[in-house]
Amino acid sequence: MHVPDGFIDAPTSAVTGVVAAGAIAVSLRGARRELDERTAPLAGLVSAFIFAVQMLNFPVAAGTSGHLLGGALAAILVGPCTGVLCVSVVLLMQGILFADGGLTALGVNITDMAIVTTVVSYAVFRGLVKVLPRRRRSVTVASFVAALLSVPAAAVVFTLIYAVGGTTDVALSKVATAMIGVHVLIGIGEAVITSLTVGAVIAVRPDLVYGARGLQRRLKLRVNGELVDAPGTPVPAAARTSRRRLWLTGLVTSLVLAGFVSFYASANPDGLEKVAHDKGIDKKAERHASSDSPLAGYGVKDISDARLSGGLAGVIGVGVTVVAGSTVFWVVRRRRTGDPAETRRTGEPAEAS
């Protein structure tokens, strides 16, 4: 659903840019509360994983494909504020290095793909978790439904943005019907990928999944006749995979997906591209400012072998994204250390990363 330059007029793009900047500023502050020394490294990995899986377009209808948006996955794994930042990092890398998603439309893409998907999915997820039994399976089920609904929600918001600032004269009803219809199908793929990934992480380290916090009751100790919380709830022996091992496994998985599996992804246009072509929304699409990038189009310039070119571009993309994401979240986590507000809230300085 990456919106190219020229689909939305300059004033509307500017407004969405302001909205995106404001949301990122709020998310940076919120991420300081969500991240700790255990989960901060995972956030950078989540960005890289989303980048990798977004390269795996899957067929959803005749001549149309879809790919992961990632807002639900990021919000559930590392928190909604951190999730906005994860997807924003991915969109920034894709726009600058791979000419995917317009640079003037970056505000539109962050608003639609990072903010809307994260907010909608996490609201649905929290609502379901409150009414479902307190079990790990409930987290997986809630993840599926939340991810499923987040994609058509993003399609609705794009339609609204197009209604305000679309550069072509296409009936809004036609845009809405086509966008929502195909993205309901794409949402099914999003839901499957999200629930499987969340379920896999919960199986090995449930304590690292933000959406599963509070799922298990803390152990109680009786001290002087009173029940008090134990210092920490131990992770079950079957789920004691080290954070380093989990991180390395996730990174290797991302590299394999982007560097090898992506070659077999569907070559059909994604939902937005298909609708834009069929309905004429793309008549005023502009040449991407980064179209001359050595990695434009997810291939390495001057390498003629398609498999090698695409695989190498995917590996580079994962590497750049994990470094950029990890740097952002390391800085966010470091700023929490010694934060006066954190000290006032807890009575002691925040832990260093």
Domains along the sequence of the chain with CATH: 10-212+247-282+294-346 (1.10.1760.20)
Rounded CA-CA distance 37/30 in Å is 15
Paired sense of beta strands 220-223 and 226-229, if any: antiparallel
Q: Write the DSSP symbol of residue 218.
A: P
Residues 16 and 9: their CA atoms lie apart, in Å, by 11
Each of the 353 residues of the chain gets a pLDDT tens digit; together they read 899 999 999 999 999 999 999 999 999 999 999 998 888 889 999 999 999 999 999 999 889 999 999 999 999 999 999 999 999 999 999 999 999 999 999 999 999 999 999 999 999 999 999 999 988 899 999 999 999 999 999 999 999 999 999 999 999 999 999 999 999 999 999 999 999 999 999 999 998 999 998 775 554 555 666 655 555 555 555 455 688 899 999 999 999 999 999 999 999 999 999 999 999 999 999 999 999 999 999 999 999 999 999 999 999 999 999 999 999 999 998 876 555 544 444 443 444 33
- Span between the terminal Cα atoms of the chain, in Å: 35
For residue 113, give the DSSP letter: I
Measured distance CA(257)–CA(310) in Å, rounded: 11
